[in-house]
Amino acid sequence: MDIPVIKIFDTTLRDGEQTPGVCLEVGEKLEIAQALAKLRVDVIEAGFPIASPGDFTAVSQIAAKVKGPAIAGLARAGQKDIDAAVNALKQAERPRIHTFIATSDIHLEYKLKMTREQVLARAEEAVRYAKRFVEDVEFSAEDASRSDWEYLCQVYTAVIHAGATVINIPDTVGYVTPAEFGALIRYIREHVPNIHKADISVHCHDDLGMAVANSLAAVENGATQVECTVNGLGERAGNASMEEIIMALHTRKEFYKVDTRIDTKQIYRASRLVSTLSGIVVPPNKAVVGENAFAHESGIHQHGILNNSLTYEIMRPEDVGISRNAIVLGKHSGRHAFEDRLRELGFELDSDAVNVLFGRFKELADRKKMVFDRDIEALVNEKVTLKPEWYRLSYHHVVSGNRMLATATVRLETSAGIVEHASCGDGPVDASFKAIEAAVGFKVSLRDYAIKAVTSGEDALGEAIVWVECDGRPFSGRGLSTDVIEASAKAYVNAINKMIAVCGVPEDKISGKQA
C-alpha cells in the first residue's frame, strides 16, 4: 500500500518575516526561496503582495526564478488584494493564491464588524474571484481554532464549492491543545460533505509551546498539508517548526504512517541560512538544528554512542545535513581540496564565488590552527550577505583595560576616499561602535547586539550580529573573525550599509558613496 505524502507549505518568507526584528531584503528572500526549493518543500508562501512594494517585488522575483514548488501569494478576501497577488504571481510555474478571512465570533465583532452571513458570502466570493485567474486556490479561516465548529464547516463547504483546492485550519493564536485540535480536524472531515475535493491544511502558532504537537495531531486525524517555518520563526512565539515536524514524521514513520518529499539532508543548511539572514540566533538546545542537538556530555551517553549511536541518538546528524567530520582543512590545503569540501557540504557555487571564498579561507587558515566545517559554512553564509557597500572596515585598533577608558580607532574605505576616526567608550565594543558612528558622520540607533563562537577552541571563529534601527525598521548586520572586536565592528558596518541602502541618509552627512 502506498504511504500517504504530507505536503509541506513553507511560510518563512511571509509569516516568518513577521518575527519582531526581522526585515529581509528581496535578494535575501530569493536566496532563502532557492534553499527551500532545494529542500523540496511543496509550497513556498513568498509574501503578501499588497502589503508593500518590497513584498510585491519579492513575490514576483521568486515566482519568476524559483522552479519546483508551488509559489503562493497571500491575499485578504477582497478583489484588490487578489489582483495584487495575481500580478505578482504572473511568472510562477505553479501559482497559488492564498486568501483568508477571520471566522471566530471575537474577530467578527471586534475586528471585522461583520455578521457570520457577511463573512460567509465574502469568503465564497473571494475564492470564486481568485479561481478566475489560477487553478490552485487556498482558503484560510483565520482564528479557526476559536470559531464555532458548525459555522466553520459551513464556510469550508461553501469555499470548496466555489473552487478552493486547499482549506486551511489555523490555530492563529496558539490556543488549542493537541487533543482539541485533532478532534477539530476529525470533525471537519466528517461534517464538510465535499471535503474530498480539497487538501486539509493546518497552520499552528506556538504561543503555548504546542505548535508542532498540534500539527502532528492534525496529521494523525487526516490533515494532508502542514504549514510551518524554518527555525519556527513567526509572530509572537513563532510558528510550528518545519525541521521538527519533518523529522518527527521521518523518524516515527511507523507511527504516523505518512511521508514527505523533503530532502532532509538540506535541513541544516536551510536553518543556518535563515538564521544568518534573519539575524535570529538558533538556541543551542533547539531540537534537530541546535548546537547541542547531537552533543553528549554525560560519560554514560558518550560510551553508548561510541558503541552504537542508536543508544542515545534517535536520528543521525547526517540525516539533517550535519557532518560528523570535525577538522577538515588547514593553511596548506589547496583550492581543489577546498572546492571538494564545499561540494561535500552541499554547496554548489560558481568558480568566481569559490575563488573569493578560497581567498577568505586562506586568510582564516593563517589565523587558525584548524578550520572546521562550521567555519566554512560561516564563510559561505557571509558571502551570501555581500552587497554594494557604502563603507568597508579596513583597519581597527583598540586599547582597553579594567582600569582605563577604552579607546578605539577605525578606518573606513569609501568611494570618496578613506575616513578615519577615534572615540572612547564603555569597553572595546562600545568604543569601536562610537568610532564608526563618528566616521560615517550621522547618529546610528543601536537596537541589539549578540556574539557567539562558531566553533570551539581558543582560536574559534566569532560571529557577531548587530541590529540597528531606522524609522522603526530593524536592520541586522553580521561579522566574522577570530577577533571578536573585529567581528563586532564588521557587523556594525554591515548593518549600517543595509540601513543606508533602504532608508538613505542626508547627503551632507554621508562621508562617501558606495565602496
Amino acid 296: pLDDT: 42
Amino acid 1: pLDDT: 63
pLDDT tens column, 85-126: 999 999 999 999 999 999 999 999 999 999 999 999 999 999
- Report yes or no on 70 lying in a domain: yes
- Report yes or no on 189 lying in a domain: yes
Alpha-carbon dihedral 305, 459, 370, 461, rounded to 10 degrees = 80
Specify whether 332 is located in the same domain as 455: no
- Report yes or no on 283 lying in a domain: no
Amino acid 220: pLDDT: 98
Closest CA to 185 of 173, 203, 197: 203
pLDDT tens column, 236-252: 999 999 999 999 999 99
Is 319:265 a contact under the CB 8 Å cutoff? yes
3-state secondary structure (DSSP) of residue 317: helix
| pLDDT average per 10 residues of sequence, the chain (515 residues) | 92 93 88 96 98 96 98 98 98 98 97 98 98 98 98 98 98 98 98 98 98 98 98 96 98 97 95 90 91 59 46 79 64 79 77 83 77 78 61 94 93 88 95 95 91 75 88 85 92 90 64 50
- Report yes or no on 286 lying in a domain: no
Amino acid 298: pLDDT: 39
Specify whether 330 is located in the same domain as 378: yes
**Structural domain boundaries, residue 63:** 7-278
Is 498:470 a contact under the CB 8 Å cutoff? no
Amino acid 340: pLDDT: 80
Specify whether 133 is located in the same domain as 231: yes
Total domains present in the chain: 4
- Report yes or no on 224 lying in a domain: yes
Amino acid 81: pLDDT: 98
CA distance 266 to 472: 34
- Report yes or no on 285 lying in a domain: no
CA distance 70 to 73: 10
Specify whether 65 is located in the same domain as 126: yes
Specify whether 337 is located in the same domain as 315: no
Q: At 398, which CATH number?
A: 3.30.160.270
Amino acid 449: pLDDT: 93
